[in-house]
Amino acid sequence: MTPLIIGVALVAGVGAAFAAGALSGLRIGKDALGAELAAYMGGLYGIISGSVAVALTVLVLSLT
């Protein structure tokens, strides 16, 4: 894999993890926490868990 593809995959994966985390946090916690706080917290946890998964996936795919 070329460095450009690896960089794009990492950026797109982390962005998707943030967006998915924010949307799920908004859907789950907006009544209890408020919409803005729930989206921020979901985005944070999405980045934390998603960036590890994206980095490992790109690493495994680059080895093959």
pTM for this predicted structure: 0.83
Q: Is the residue at 37 inside a domain?
A: yes
> Is 8:62 a contact under the CB 8 Å cutoff?
no
pLDDT at residue 14 is higher than 90: yes
Q: What domain range is 44 assigned to?
A: 10-63
Q: Is the residue at 4 inside a domain?
A: no
Per-residue pLDDT tens over the stretch 18-58: 999 999 999 999 899 899 999 999 999 999 999 899 999 99
Start-to-end C-alpha separation, the chain:
9
Predicted pLDDT at 2? 87
Q: Is the residue at 16 inside a domain?
A: yes
Q: Is the residue at 54 inside a domain?
A: yes
Tally of domains in the chain: 1
- Within 8 A by CB and 6+ apart from 49, the residues are 17, 21
Predicted pLDDT at 23? 95
- Residue 64: pLDDT band with limits 50, 70, 90: confident
> Is 15:23 a contact under the CB 8 Å cutoff?
no
